[in-house]
Amino acid sequence: MTVAAAVTLRAVPTPPAARRAALLTLGCARNEVDSEELAGRLTGDGWELTEDAEGADVVVVNTCGFVESAKKDSVDALLEAAETGAKVVAVGCMAERYGAELAGSLPEAAAVLGFDHYPNLGERLDDVVAGRTIAAHTPTDRRTLLPITPVSRSTADLAVPGHGWGPRVLRRRLDDAPVAALKIASGCDRRCSFCAIPSFRGAFVSRQPAEILAEARWLAEQGVRELFLVSENSTSYGKDLGREHGGPAALERLLPRLAEVDGIERVRVSYLQPAETRPGLVTAIAGTDGVANYFDMSFQHASSTVLRRMRRFGGTESFLALVEQIRELAPDAGIRSNVIVGFPGETEDELAELEHFLTEARLDVVGVFGYSDEDGTEAEGLDGKLDPREVAQRVTRVGDLVEQLTAQRAEDRIGEEVLVLVERVGQECAGRAAHQGPEVDGECLLTGEGELAVGDLVRGKVVDSEGVDLIVELAEVVGGAASGIAVGAAVEGSP
């Protein structure tokens, strides 16, 4: 007798098709960090990241909502992404700030998501691919979502990009540059009359030191050599953390610990408020090995009367005293700032005072911006608005002065010895010295003989300048890239 074996056929579930997302980032370094957090969350949810928007199912555009030109760039990016045929999702500051209004005026976007959607972004993109409608984010003043008392904020249940990760690092690097931004705080408690950022970024919240240090170690493992500490207001760091972390002096305690992370050659602090910059912090930046002698001071103006209308503090005398204090401790320190000209009611005398301050301060880099109204700000309702053509003329006038002054400051550095972090090799090799911040402060063009790799730390002598850029003759490699061995393009002759 033949016995036939019974065979049970079970249906094997078809694995879901690969879901591909492209991330496009506009705006500041804080947005770049947010995009890397979103990249980490998406890959954790099974999404594949691609740089090719045309091959993506969804293009996530991390928008900027700071000023009118940035908002226009964000809209243009969203429209361009829609032309690829992929579904387009708007996130970031502009999406948070305008929400449903943006969705209504931009039907090309399949969804407009706010910061509260970030923890579940993978699920929301699943909804987008499946054609399920997602209600557009409804904006609110995020300052009202956290307790008024700073020390009560750490226990609040609120989604804040870059916060609350615990021991994990919810981040994936989107490039292999040797410098990376590291967020130490979010939001701002200041009420500058021209600025809308606190309304959509929220009240000030510091990240826990342990969380920052864990991310710093992770970044070092990814080959990062310089940490660029970012926030809306770094001088407020720690005011909400309590005495066990140093309170207002928390950043002074944190900097040496970050500088000691294996693999990290340099730590750089950004965005310091002059009125909040304590002598102890100046000393910590200027006197801690591994921390760049770099002071990113948010002066905005020098006339005390203009600054009061801006709801800010200080003036020419106190600002020059701060500059002198910095240079007494670190004569070679880099000091940069941004200024706004054409603020409502700005007189010729007030503008001249700003020019006097800039001439006396001899800053390394100054960004000059013309005033423009921002939705919902106090300055939008101020009297004394200047004609846009007059504002533009003042921008040109102060910009021309700044160009001369910063070129002279660069010339003053001829003969100095500098440590340069190499960021570009090939026919032209370049990097940045301690006084030069990423992307905005010029660079060092390297000449001489040697083999260099991106990520090397090299010593050299400044032999010439071109505007704010320096020409540096290579002397030696003092720290090799991650492997500790300098390899790569030869530096021969002048770039």
The rounded distance, in Å, linking the Cα atoms of 210 and 187 is: 20
The residue with tokens 């091959």 is: 55
> CA quadruple 366, 367, 370, 375: dihedral positive or negative?
negative
pLDDT higher than 80, residue 173: yes
The more confident residue out of 149 and 6 is 149
**Statement: residue 183 has pLDDT above 90:** yes
Chosen CATH of 416-479 out of 2.40.50.140, 3.40.50.150, 3.40.190.10, 1.10.220.10: 2.40.50.140
Do residues 22 and 49 lie in contact, with contact meaning Cβ atoms separated by under 8 Å?
yes
Question: Which residues line the annotated binding site for [4Fe-4S] cluster?
Answer: 28, 64, 93, 188, 192, 195
pLDDT digits (tens, 9 = 90+) for 244-254: 777 889 999 99
CATH 3.40.50.12160-classified regions of the chain: 20-139
CATH 3.80.30.20 domain range(s) in the chain: 144-412
Looking at residue 479, its pLDDT comes to: 82
Confidence of residue 491 (pLDDT cuts 50, 70, 90): very low
Sequence-distant contacts of 477-481: CB under 8 A, at least 24 apart:
477/450, 477/452, 478/419, 479/225, 479/265, 480/453, 480/455, 480/456, 481/178, 481/223, 481/225, 481/422, 481/453, 481/454, 481/455, 481/456
Q: Which ranges in 131-232 belong to alpha helices (H)?
A: 197-201, 209-221
Interatomic CA distance for residues 21 and 245, integer angstroms? 39
| Other CB atoms within 10 Å distance of the CB of residue 147 | 13
| Predicted pLDDT of residue 270 | 96
Residue 432 has pLDDT above 60, yes or no: yes
pLDDT digits (tens, 9 = 90+) for 77-107: 999 999 998 999 999 999 999 999 999 999 9
CATH architecture of 20-139: 3-Layer(aba) Sandwich (3.40)
Predicted confidence (pLDDT) at residue 142 exceeds the cutoff of 90: no
* Average pLDDT for 488-494: 38
22-31, 159-168, 419-428, range with the lowest pLDDT? 159-168
Residue 6 is predicted with a pLDDT of 37
Annotated binding site: 28, 64, 93, 188, 192, 195
Query: What is the percent of the chain where pLDDT is above 70?
Result: 93
Please state, in angstroms and rounded to a whole number, the distance separating the CA atoms of residues 353 and 364: 19
Ranges 154-163, 191-200, 474-483, most confident: 191-200
Predicted TM-score (pTM) of the model is 0.90
Strands (E), 280-401: 294-296, 334-341, 365-370
- E-strand stretches of 83-173: 87-92, 111-112
Of 20, 172, 208, 44, nearest to 119 by C-alpha is 44
* Residue-wise pLDDT tens digits, 313-348: 999 999 999 999 999 999 999 999 999 999 999 999
Q: Are 102 and 90 in contact (CB under 8 A)?
A: yes
Tell me which CATH homologous superfamily contains domain 144-412: tm_1862 like domain (3.80.30.20)
pLDDT of res. 431: 97
292 Cβ contact list (under 8 Å, min separation 6)? 266, 267, 268, 269, 285, 334, 434, 435
- Residue ranges of the chain that CATH labels 2.40.50.140: 416-479
* Spatial CB neighbours of 480, under 8 Å, sequence gap ≥ 6: 453, 455, 456, 486
Determine contact, residues 477/428, Cβ cutoff 8 Å. Answer: no
User: E strands of 187-293, at which residues?
Assistant: 205-206, 226-230, 266-269
Q: Which contacts of 272-275 are long-range, i.e. CB under 8 A and separated by 24 or more positions?
A: 272/234, 272/235, 272/296, 272/297, 272/298, 273/190, 273/233, 273/235, 273/236, 273/298, 274/298, 274/299, 274/313, 274/314, 274/318, 274/319, 274/322, 275/312, 275/313, 275/314
